[in-house]
Structure 1
Amino acid sequence: MKNLFLGSLKTKQTVIGFISLVLLVSVISFVLYQVTKKTVTLDANGETIKIATHTKTVEQLLQEQKIVVTEHDNISPSLNDTIVDGLAIKWKQAKEVTISVDGNQLKIWTTETNVKDILKEANIEVSERDSLVQELDTEIGADNNIDIQKAFQVSLVVDGNKRNVWSTSTTVANFLKQQGIKLNEYDCVESNDLTDVITPESKITVVRIKKELDVVEETLDFTIEKQQDASLEAGIEKVVTEGQKGLIAKTYEIVKENGKVVAKNLQSEKVLKEPQNQVVAVGTKTIVPSVTSVPSNASTASIPSVPSIASTSTVSLGSTEPASGREFYVTATAYTAYCKGCSGTSATGIDLRSNPELKVIAVDPSVIKLGSKVWVEGYGIAVAEDTGGAIKGNKIDIFVESEIQAINWGVKVVRIKVLN
């Protein structure tokens, strides 16, 4: 029994000794392994860490750190460089950035993060007039996009003044806001909607529209009311009640474009004073014609002679319409021997002021020969003894005694008959 115990004890001691040896060797090996590692510094996208490694090259180190390096990445030193103690490694991962210039897209790979540096790397120049979504000195956004709108000149006309200004592809409304131009209630932009996008060919014309009310007072003409009067000779008219003009107020909307009136629209009317009709009495009394003072056997040539008419015309030529004669219509006015510009003597030499009762008419000699006997509707039989500057064509001017008779006669279209 004793020998068996000692043998068993020796075996256990041998095993323990072996295990102790293995542990010692492992510890020594581990210590030697750790001691022989090289310490390097790795800057990965701005994050710095220290690494103890037995790798031989930079590429192996990055693989050990599970970092995948692409052709666009920035790595220093190169992947093939040997790892030495204290080595500083810098790796910056490249990103794909989309640069949009007026809608045209350019994709580039870059390790830069500042907008200005990225544009410089892409050889894209930006002026202070251009529009960028991001500021030049800021970092690129999470979407890796840079949006640029290049400025161009636009023709701007406002308040009648034209000038060229810089703009980008924005709406008309935003453009006006950028230029500090405010549209009033009725203002508009000629040939453009506010939502239209501006292009280099755009011409922006602001039309200033102003609307204002204007009240204008105008007269209202009276109506002439004619009444038959048997006490007056046929053809004679007499004003019984003078007409009075009325007054009306008209309100207009005045539309002005850039200070110029372009429209005048009637909005309302208000009668301030009603007009009063003019009442005119029209004679209907028929007068029996007297015996003519012109001899029945007198020749046509003898009618225009001044002595014959002056001495024999004190008796009326009559007013009854003859049965025959060259008949047509004329426009008839009336005059007196004392009218403005009148000499009182007819074209054939008759003193009308001394013979106010004569029936004389002024004619156009190319239509009615001087000396002709003429029946005039509403006047009677008269002799063409006078002319006038305004009496041309189918026009006549009848001679009356007073100005009131001339006014009452007015202007009429009458029927006449040339008797010889």
Structure 2
Amino acid sequence: MSDTQGSHRRGGPVPGPYEDQPAAGAPGEPEPAVPAPRGGRRARGRTAADAPAAYAPPAPPAPPAPRGTGRRRGGADPAPAPGTEDAPTLPGTAPAGPGRRRGPAAETAPPAAGSGRRRGAPAEAAPTATATATATVPAPAGPGRRRAPGGRRAAPRTGPTPGTAPTAAPGGTWRRIIPQALVVAFLAGGTTAFVAADKSVRLTVDGVPRTLHTFAGGVDELLAAEGLGVGPHDLVAPAPGAPIEDGEEIVVRYGRPLRLTVDGQQRQVWTTARTVDGALRQFGVRAEGAYLSAPRTAPVPRAGLVLSVRTERSVTFMADGHERTIRTNAATVAEALGQAGITLQGQDSTSVPPGSFPRDGQTVTVLRITGTREVREERIPYATERVKDDGLFAGTEVVERAGRPGARRVTYSLRTVNGVRQQPRRVAEETVREPVTQLVKVGTKPLPSSVSGADGLNWAALAQCESGGRPSATDPSGTYGGLYQFDVRTWQGLGGSGRPQDASGSEQTYRAKKLYVQRGASPWPHCGRRLTRG
């Protein structure tokens, strides 16, 4: 290590360790022993006699440096003090510092002027050389070095060349400068990278802006750093994967659920607008003249909103022979009628239900209705029940119980619509008498094939003469009936039941043959002779 390293006064001579001591050779004071430091260690009380040293010819000592200043770097050595050129000194041995070989002791300069001397005053005369004197070896007064005993600084180390003043070593200076320069360059580069990574951005969340500094490289990284979670219904611009530049503006708008009903049509949508007006504009809903269930300036909370909108529509009314068109946002036809100044009275109505929603461009006709009610009594027909009877010949039907019709009162509405009488409309009915069901017996007994003594007669000619060949024929008085015009008493006497005109034609012919066997042709005085004609 050079004599300049570890010293606060670079490039100049360092004052001796005894700068406060009077000059050697003063009258009445013995010359003190000078301790010689080794390797930068603290002097341990050794004297020059303890260290091996060889005598060297005397050399002019180095002039003392002014107190408290030191020599400037690269400056010339100060001139020697007057009267000290011929002062002899004894050679000393330079201490072996760390990493330096031992060499001959360099000649040392006398101690510098002590504190309290004027700057620039001539130094005291060098001590007279004696056989027991030792050379002083200056030691660097570096930071952290303790003073020698007696409060004096340790002697600085001198270079290996005797008789020369110590100078700064160029290599040591560069060894100090290069690491410091590298550290400065590293810090400067890190600071530049730190400053380059820092960005100033403007973040607007739901219309609330703020400016912040961030090291995030992308939008999604910034949102995560700010604790802003976004979902599929939220709007982020630029997109979450986009990079961030310095001075950029990022906008975040949260989605809000909206149950929107427009003119009766309901749907569930999502909006990023913060007000009702913004949501209507986002979905293209015409709000001019419309009815809104919430004000246009009302906020849309993030929890959602139920909004009903009725747009303005054009509706035409036809009433009392006049046509009237209005623009309305009414919810029902009846409400729109009131806005048009049309009143419904009594039984008046409209061509569409009054509670229906009026559509744009719709035409509604007002019906002026007048009318009365009428009560009528009507007949209720009876039903007929037919029952089989094996005691009757086949084809014979006998009414066991006659039917009787019922009766009811019916109320009708008689209306006149816009002056035109309408079809009566049944509005109510009441049963006055229940009908009685008619019971009829139907014969199932097989008919006899013939009647002895009457089979060869012309019964068809007799039937044609009596009834025109009709089994259900009845005379105008109602006494006689059937093909052969039986009265009821005669008919039942022949084994028939009920009335003869209700029996079949074959049964009537059978009963007529039996009557002929009993009484001949006398029951038919006018037509009986036809039985024997061909």
Q: TM-score, length-normalised on structure 1?
A: 0.33
Q: Of the two, which has the highest radius of gyration?
A: 2
- Larger strand proportion, structure 1 or 2? 1
Q: TM-score, length-normalised on structure 2?
A: 0.27
